Structure 1
Amino acid sequence: MGSSRSGVIDLLRLVPQGGPAICNVSVTNLCNATCDFCNFAHDKGFVTDRRSLDASRFADSLARLKEQAGVRFVTFMGGEPLLHKNIVEMVQTATDMGVQPTMVTNGWLLPPKADALADAGITTLFISIDAADPLVHEKNRGLKGVCERIREATAKLQARGVTVIASVAMTRLIPNYLALARFVKELGFSAITFSYPRKAALGSNSLVWSEDSELVDMSTAELIAAFDGAESARGIIPVHNPRAGLADMRRRLTGQGERFTCHAGYKYFYMDWNYDLWRCEDWDKPISSVWDFTPEKMLRDACQACTTDCYRDASIMLHFPVAIGDAFAQMRQGRPVAAFRALADKRILGSIGAIAGHGSRLSRLAGTG
C-alpha cells in the first residue's frame, strides 16, 4: 500500500510539469542479428567501434534524468540489449529508483533470462517480429529457430505477469496484416505495435535504418495499405499504436498534415552508449552529455520532421499531460484565458483515448495495478 501511494503521489507531483518523461537507452551497438532493414546488423560492417554502456555509471545517469527531466519510463534498446552483460542489473536499478523499465529485443537470448528480467521489474517487453511466416522472419533475422525461443519466452513471461508485445516493422515482408496478427497471437503475444519504415539515415549514431533495403523502399500507396492493414489487425489482437497516430501517418502521406507534434527533447529523450543525451534518434547532434543536462536545455518546437513511431505515438499520449502543464504555467503567470485555451485543444480527446489504451502500463508505474 505504501509503495502504491508513493507512486501515485510521484505522478501527481509531475502534473504541473506536464507529466512524466520517457528515455530510450541504447545500451550497446552490438547485435547478433542480420536484419536487412537495419544497419546494426552484424554482417553489414557499419559497427566498426563496438561500444557498450558503462553500467557502473547507469544509476547516476538515471538519477539525473529523473531529477532534471522527470523521466519515469526507460526503454532498454540496442543493438541487442540482452548482449550487455549487466542488462538485468540495470533493469533492477531502474525499478529500485521508481522508473518503469521496458525493453526491445529480438528474443534469441531471452528464454534463460526471462525469469531474471521479471524478477528485476520488467512489466512490459517488446520482441521483434518481421513476418507471419516463421521461416521468412528467421531468414531476415539470420536467427534460425528464434520463433521457438520466442514462444518459450512469451510463455514464461506471461506466467510472470509480464505484458509481451510483438514489435513489427512495416515492410514488404508483410503482405497480409491479418495473417500477421494471427501469427503473433499464436506465438503468445498479448498485443502488437508497428514501427514505421525507415530508409533515410538517422541524424544520431543510431543505426535503425537502411538506405539500400528494398524491404522499406515503399511507395505511398504501399504505405497507406500498410497503415490500413495495421488498423485492421485490431480485430484480432490489441494494437499498441494509438488510432490517432495511424490516422496522422495517413494524413502525412496524403498531404493533409499531422494534427499532433512531437515532444522529443521535452518529454522524450534518447541516450546512447556514450552517455550522450539526444533529443531523439533522428536529431543530428546531442543536447549534451547526460551529466551536463539541465531543464533549460529542453527543446520544444512542434517538430514533425520524421515518422519515428516510438516518439510520435508517445507524443500523442503526452499531449494531454503537457496541455495540463501548460495550463498550470499560464495560471502561474496570471493568464487564465490562455490556460483555458490550453485545455480546450481539440486534440486532447485523441490523447485521452491513447492514454486509455495504455491504462494498465500507467497503473503499474503508479504501483496501483
Structure 2
Amino acid sequence: MASFAGAMDLLRLVPKGGPAICNVSVTNLCNATCDFCNFAHDKGFVTDRRSLDASRFAEGLARLKREAGVRFVTFMGGEPLLHKNIVEMVRTATEMGVQPTMVTNGWLLPPKVDALADAGITTLFISIDAPTAEVHEKNRGLRGVCERIREANAKLTARGVTVIASVAMTRLVTDYAALARFVKSLGFSAITFSYPRKAALGSSSLVWSEDSELVDMTPAEILAAFDAAEGAREIIPVHNPRAGLADMRRRLTGQGERFICHAGYKYFYLDWNYDLWRCEDWDKPLASLWDFTAKDMVRDGCQACTTDCYRDASIMLHFAIAIGDAFASVREGRPLAAFKALTDRRNAGSIGAVIGHGARLTRLAGAG
C-alpha cells in the first residue's frame, strides 16, 4: 500500500514537471583530511562549527514538499554521520514520503547500518578517491576505512540497500579500470564520478580547493578522464548518464552543452543554517527556508558550472519537465508549444538516462 501511495504521489507531480531533489548539508564538521576538499578538519576553513537543528527538520521538509515538490533528499556534510540526529532525520524523511539517500566517507558507517536501513535509506554513496586502499586512506586521513567500508557494504547489501562508490575525478585516479575493479572488491554495485572542482563555490559549501594539485587538471586530462570513465562501464555500472559525460565533453571542447541545469527549479541545496540555495555554486541563497515559497524558484537555463549532481540529475529530470511544460502549454491554449516540448530531441537522451537507472529509481520511488 505504501509503495502504491508513493508511486501515485510521483504521478501527481508529473503535470508540474515531476518531483524535485534537495541536497541537505546537515553539518560542516568532517573527520577526514581530503586534500581536494575544504571541509577537511585540518585545513582550518571551518571556524564556526555548525549542525542542522534537527528539531525543525520535519517542518522544513514539509515546506520543501509543499512549495517545491521535493520528494528526494540527499544527506551530506561535511560528514553527515557526525550529526547526532542523522538517523532520526532519515526516518522523518521516509515517514513524510520523501526518499532519503546519503553521501558519507564510511568511517562511522558499520555500527549504523541497521539503524539507517530501518529508517528507510535505500541508497548510500560512499566516497572512494583512488584505485588502492593505501592511496585512498592516505588522502582521507582515515587508516583502515576501506575495511570498514567493505564490512558496511556487505551488511547494507544484505539489507537491500544499494551502495554506490562516489569518486572525485582527480589525479589520484591514475587507472580507471583498476579503480572499477577495486570498488567492486569493496562490495559496491555501481560507481558515480564527480568532476574536478578547483574554483571556489559561491555558497556555504566547502567542497572545493583552490590550492590542491589533485584537481588542478588541464582540459586534456579531464577529457581523458571522461573517456576512461566511459571505459569503466565494461567492469561496473557507471551512475553518470552517458549524455552527461558527453555534455561535459562538449563544454570542454567549446561546443556547448545540449542540456541546461535545473538547479533552483527541480534541484536545491539546503545548508546547516536552513538557508536554501539553488545550488552549491550560487553566490546567494534563494531564501531562508522559513521564508521560501514557490515564487522564489529560478528557471533560467543556467550553464555556469559543471557540478555533476545537478547537471546529471537535470538530464534525468529533463523529460518530466518537458511533460510538465506540455501540460502548462495546453492549459494556456498553446498546443504548438506543447508539441514542441514533447518532441524536443533532448527528451530521448533524458529517457535513456532514466532507463539506465531504472531499477534504482524504482526503489527510490518506493514502488519496488
TM-score bin, normalised by smaller chain: over 0.9
Q: Alpha-carbon deviations, 1:18-68, whole Å to 9, x = none?
A: 000000000000000000000000000000000000000000000110111
Q: Which residue of 2 aligns with 1:88?
A: 87
Deviation, structure 1 residue 335? 0.4
8 Å contact kept, 1:114–1:153: yes
The match for 2:294 is: 295
Secondary structure of the 1:235 match is coil
Q: Distance in 1 between matches of 2:126 and 2:290?
A: 31
**CA–CA distance in 2 between the matches of 1:365 and 1:93?**
16
Q: What is the aligned partner in structure 2 of residue 111 from structure 1?
A: 110
4+ long deviations beyond 6 Å: none
Give aligned-pair identity as a percent.
Answer: 84
Superposition CA RMSD, Å: 0.6
Match of 2:145 in 1: 146
- Determine the C-alpha separation between the residues in 1 that align with 2:186 and 2:3: 33
Instruction: Give the distance between the partners of 2:298 and 2:90, measured in 1 at CA.
Output: 27
AA of the residue aligned to 2:326: A
Aligned position for 1:198: 197
Distance 2:267 2:38 in 1: 23
DSSP 3-state at the match of 1:131: coil
The two structures have a TM-score, normalised by structure 2, of 0.99
Structure 1 counterpart of 2:304 = 305
Deviation at residue 125 of structure 1 after TM alignment: 0.2
* Structure 1 counterpart of 2:48: 49
Q: How far did 1:3 drift?
A: 1.4
Name stretches of at least 5 consecutive residues in structure 1 with no aligned partner. Answer: none
Distance, in Å, in 1 between the alignment partners of 2:290 and 2:359 is: 33
Distance 2:7 2:97 in 1: 11
What per-residue deviation string (whole Å, max 9, x for no partner) do you get for residues 50-107 of structure 1? 0000000000000110111000000000000000000000000000001000000000
- Contact 2:99/2:365, CA 8 A, preserved across alignment: no
Counterpart of 2:320?
Answer: 321
- Please report how far the alpha carbon of residue 212 of structure 1 lies from its aligned counterpart in structure 2 after TM superposition: 0.1
Equivalent AA in structure 1 for residue 185 of structure 2: E
For 1:254-293, what aligned pairs fall within 5 Å after superposition? Answer: 254-293=253-292
Distance in 2 separating the partners of 1:265 and 1:250: 24
CA contact (8 A) 1:7 1:365 kept: no
1:168 aligns to what SS in structure 2? strand
Tell me the amino acid that sits aligned with residue 32 of structure 1: N
- The amino acid that maps onto 2:208 is W
Distance 1:122 1:367 in 2: 11
Instruction: Give the SS at the match of 2:61.
Output: helix
Residues 203 and 282, structure 1, Cα contact 8 Å, conserved in 2: yes
1:233 Cα deviation from its structure 2 partner:
0.4
Q: Partner letter of residue 21 of structure 1?
A: A
Q: Secondary structure at the match of 1:193?
A: strand
Indicate yes or no: 2:173 matched with 1:174. yes
Report the equivalent of 1:62: 61
Q: Which amino acid aligns with 1:14?
A: L
Alpha-carbon distance, 1:133 to partner: 1.0
Question: Separation in 2 of the partners of 1:204 and 1:107?
Answer: 25
Question: Which amino acid in 2 is paired with 1:304?
Answer: Q
Q: What is the CA distance between 1:367 and its match in structure 2?
A: 2.6
